[in-house]
Amino acid sequence: MTKEFSVPPVVFPSGGNPSAVGSNNIQQRRVAAAPFQPPRSSTSSIPFMSFDVGSAAASSSSSSLFGGPIGSSSVPGGSASFEDEEPLLDELGIHPDQIWSKTKSILNPFRSNPAVHKDSDLSGPILLYMLLCLFQLLAGKIQFGVILGWIVVSSIFLYIVFNMLAGRNGNLDLHRCTSVVGYCMLPVVILSAASLFVPQGGTFRIAVAAVFVLWATRVCTGLMVALADGGDEHRGLIAYACFLIYTLFSLLVIF
């Protein structure tokens, strides 16, 4: 005895089975509709913009990138030409003539010129600090960090002492104080260079160091009193503070 099996009819997506059209029990697959597309019309289309390549090439050959003729020096937002720009040292705030004039004023301890030190800068002091570190390195002493730290502490120390002594009349700023202390380091730098040729130890080395310390102290005291107000009455105390500062640096050179 054979058993019959009910086989469901095959449903085509395109509706190709005509026998299954009228049947309510068969679920046909629906084809997904296309996404919404706006109606195409002549008014909704984007117009095409044409460019004349020949005229653009001719205009670019006769004009520069910024709209002016090639070879013209007019650049919007810039200088007139490369020759009119300032030198690189002037843009960085380094003036060799000014540094040289300030250094020459320190060479004579009895006739220092305070007028050239009114415009304070740090390029000259940094150069002297590097020379001092270089001479110390030639002597076998690596003291870059020590010298830099003592310079910062010494400038702040002299700035505080001067303003405390001057009181309300004191107008010394830290930038000018650092500049003066740095330029007056020139005798110590010369002492460091001369110590390379002087035997270690002995009374002669200490006597030479004392002369250079007095030189730096006199120049620094004179510039401090001349450049800032309120220091005439306390010249001795300011000189004592300057003497301590340059004695400290001379000890690095001697020992």
For the segment 154-186, what is each residue's pLDDT rounded down to a tens digit?
Answer: 999 999 999 998 887 778 899 999 999 999 999
Where are the chain's structural domains? 122-254
Write down the pLDDT at residue 182. 94
**Hey, which of 31-40, 68-77, 125-134 has the most confident mean pLDDT?**
125-134
Q: Is residue 188 within 8 Å of residue 249, measured between CB atoms? A: yes
> And the tokens for 210?
């004392």
The helix, strand and coil proportions of the chain, stated in percent and rounded to the nearest 5, come to 55, 0, 45
* Residue appearing with tokens 């679920």: 27
The residue that leads in pLDDT, 158 or 46, is 158
Q: Could you tell me the pTM of the whole model? A: 0.65
The residue that leads in pLDDT, 41 or 158, is 158
> And the tokens for 38?
């706006």
Q: Is residue 208 within 8 Å of residue 152, measured between CB atoms? A: no
Angle between helices 174-183 and 203-227 (to 10 degrees): 150
Q: Inform me whether the pLDDT recorded for 152 exceeds 50.
A: yes
Q: Is residue 9 within 8 Å of residue 15, measured between CB atoms? A: no
Q: Inform me whether the pLDDT recorded for 75 exceeds 50.
A: no
**Average pLDDT across the chain, whole number:** 78
Q: Inform me whether the pLDDT recorded for 69 exceeds 90.
A: no
Q: Inform me whether the pLDDT recorded for 43 exceeds 70.
A: no
Q: Which of 215, 249, 30, 212 is nearest to 108 (CA)?
A: 215
Write down the pLDDT at residue 91. 72
Alpha helices (runs of H) in 85-202, residue ranges in sequence order: 88-91, 96-107, 123-138, 144-166, 174-183, 186-194
Task: Determine the Cα–Cα distance for residues 253 and 100; give it in Å rounded to an integer.
Answer: 24
Least confident residue range of 64-68, 180-184, 235-239, 248-252 = 64-68
CB count in 10 Å sphere of residue 63: 13
Q: Is residue 125 within 8 Å of residue 185, measured between CB atoms? A: yes
> And the tokens for 124?
């000259």
